Amino acid sequence: MTLMPLHRPAAGIFIITLLCAVFFSRYAMSAFDDKTLTVVNSHSWKPFAFVENGEPKGLLIDYWRVYGEVNNVPVQFVLSDWNQSLEHMTEPGRKVHAGLLYSSSRDHYLDYTLPLFEISSSLYVLNDSEQLKIKGILPGMEVGVVRGGYEEEYIKYHYPDAKVISFNNNAKLIEAALNGEITRMVIDTQVATYYLSQDPDLHRFVPIESLYTNMIYAAVSEGDQALRDEIITGIGKIPEAESARIEQKWLNTKQVFTIPNWVLPLVLTVIVIVALSYILLLRQTVQRKTRHIKAVNRKLEEYAFTDSLTGLLNRRGLEQKFETKKIKTLMKNQQLVLLVIDLDYFKQINDTLGHLKGDEVLVCLGKAFKNTLQEAVAISRLGGEEFCLLLEVKSRHQLDTVMEYIHRRLIPSASQHELGLHVTASIGALLIDTQKTDCSLDMLLHHADQLMYRAKEGGRNRFVIQSLSSKTKQVRPFCVVS
């Protein structure tokens, strides 16, 4: 049996069709690759990001998978040691760091997007009597941290005389602690809980001091404004219920607790004491009730000094904070700056987008101030759209840097460009360069308010800095930036 040869025109059409199919398939794959978002993070940062059996897992992994599904963007994960994940962000490409804390050193090569989840860090100590006697971090003391992590930067800044022992990732840090190589370590509380819960002795290391609680942010390479805007828009499309579900899945896991050896003797002793002395029991009851009443009074006092919407200090709370010894010391050392921040055209936000959206802007700014301004010694909402900040600044350069960051980064972070919501503010900054400590808060607020209104009269979306004369207590020109 012989096959009929293809007719030459038909064979030509077949070959052309095949070549076109190959070309368009390669073009489609190239377009797919160009859209792929590379998400980088640590491979040993449980429960946020880690690798198990070759598969990326964790809270941030689930979050960015949902991001890809919601925004129809292909996502690939590159997980490595923490310091390497930061180095990846200096390389070209569509890269986003899944989540990390803000620091001024990272701000040189990263642009941050929106806050994602809250994280806290604590000082963990070997649970024996000798170690527990020593509180805090002393000069020359060895402290384990993750290399390139925010904890390392925090210790070097706040405890410069401590001896920092760095490890490539959290798994290596925990392993060194359990092997007896270190007796103290600074580590994220959620991470320590996750790792230490797998050790047979759950209480071998215990937290003795909470160091800080901040938000982790997604970040892109410095200057990649298009990708930053894309990430901010994409995050805004993720339903809040979905974010809450992921957070609940990874940060509220069931934990197994064991009873320490000293509990049973203590319980028996308490039972004997209660049986022998009813009077003592009555006295303890009275003391417990007294403590409860004091706790309620402290809570009521907190409500009296706190703004109910943002959780910041209110005017009364600011007045109380202003009378503290630290504020007086900063004034004496000429290291105190008072800022009055008034949002521009805030009434238009309420009128066009509704009061709920206006409240959301105020809450977002309050969180941004609390979570990122390490220089702030007091943050207050005076009322409406007006905030007041007391900052500790030690040099003119630091003041310029902080004002630029507030003006160009923090204030615009509350914007939602897809809704036409562009948040700007007029800021009056008063540098208190007098060594006298008898300046009243009302007088300082009055001067700062005048500076803020000068910023508004100058066209809004700018700040005016002036200093307070040490002799006349009059403001004098210093700096105006738009």
pLDDT of residue 286: 82
Kindly report the pTM of this predicted structure: 0.48
Does 76 map to a domain?
yes
Q: Are residues 339 and 466 in the same domain?
A: yes
Same domain, 337 and 466: yes
Q: Which long-range contacts (CB under 8 A, 24 or more apart) does 50-54 make?
A: 50/79, 51/79
Q: Identify the pLDDT of residue 27.
A: 44
Let me know whether 88 and 192 are in one domain: no
Residues 365 and 422 in one domain: yes
Residue 179 falls inside a structural domain: yes
106/134 same-domain check: no
Helix axes 441-457, 315-322, angle to 10 degrees: 120
Q: How far apart are CA 124 and CA 145, in angstroms?
A: 11
**Is 257 a domain residue?**
no
pLDDT value of position 15: 67
Same domain flag for 94 and 171: no
Domain CATH code at residue 70: 3.40.190.10
pLDDT at 289: 83
Q: Is there a single domain that holds both residue 407 and residue 300?
A: no
Is there a domain that residue 148 lies in? Answer: yes
Same domain, 381 and 469: yes
pLDDT of residue 287: 83
Full 3-state SS string of the chain: CCCCCCCHHHHHHHHHHHHHHHHHHHHHHHHHHHHCEEEEEECEECCCEEEECCEEECHHHHHHHHHHHHHCCCEEEEEECHHHHHHHCCCCCCEEEEEECCCCCHHHCEEEEEEEEEEEEEEEEECCHHHHHCCCCCCCCEEEEECCCHHHHHHHHHCCCCEEEEECCHHHHHHHHHCCCCCEEEEEHHHHHHHHCCCCCCCCEEEEEEEEEEEEEEEEECCCHHHHHHHHHHHHCCCHHHHHHHHHHHHCCCCCCCCCCCHHHHHHHHHHHHHHCHHHHHHHHHHHHHHHHHHHHHHHHHHHCECCCCCCECHHHHHHHHCCHHHHHHHHCCCEEEEEEEECCHHHHHHHHCHHHHHHHHHHHHHHHHHHCCCEEEEEEEECCEEEEEEECCCHHHHHHHHHHHHHHHHHHHCEHHHCECCCEEEEEEEECCCCCCCCHHHHHHHHHHHHHHHHHCCCCEEEEEEECCCCCCEEEEEEEC
Q: Are residues 14 and 61 in the same domain?
A: no
423 lies in the same domain as 336:
yes
pLDDT value for 184: 94
Place of tokens 């996750």: 194
Q: Is residue 256 part of a domain?
A: no
In order along its 482 residues, the chain shows pLDDT tens digits of 444 444 555 556 666 666 655 454 454 444 445 789 999 999 999 999 999 999 999 999 999 999 999 999 999 999 999 999 999 999 999 999 999 999 989 999 999 999 999 999 999 999 887 888 888 888 989 999 999 999 999 999 999 999 999 999 999 999 999 999 999 999 999 999 989 888 888 788 999 899 999 999 999 999 999 999 999 999 999 999 999 999 999 987 444 444 556 667 888 888 988 888 888 888 888 888 878 887 777 777 777 899 999 999 999 999 999 999 999 999 888 889 999 999 999 999 999 999 999 999 999 999 999 999 998 999 999 989 999 999 999 988 999 999 999 999 999 999 998 888 999 999 999 998 776 656 889 999 999 999 999 999 999 999 999 988 643 334 444 455 54
Q: How many domains does the chain have?
A: 5
User: Does 473 lie in the same domain as 434?
Assistant: yes
- Is position 309 within any domain? no
- What pLDDT does residue 463 have? 93
- Same domain for 329 and 245, yes or no, is no
Range of the domain at 412: 315-481
Please check whether residue 258 lies inside any domain of the structure.
no
pLDDT value, residue 28: 43
Flag whether 357 is in a domain. yes
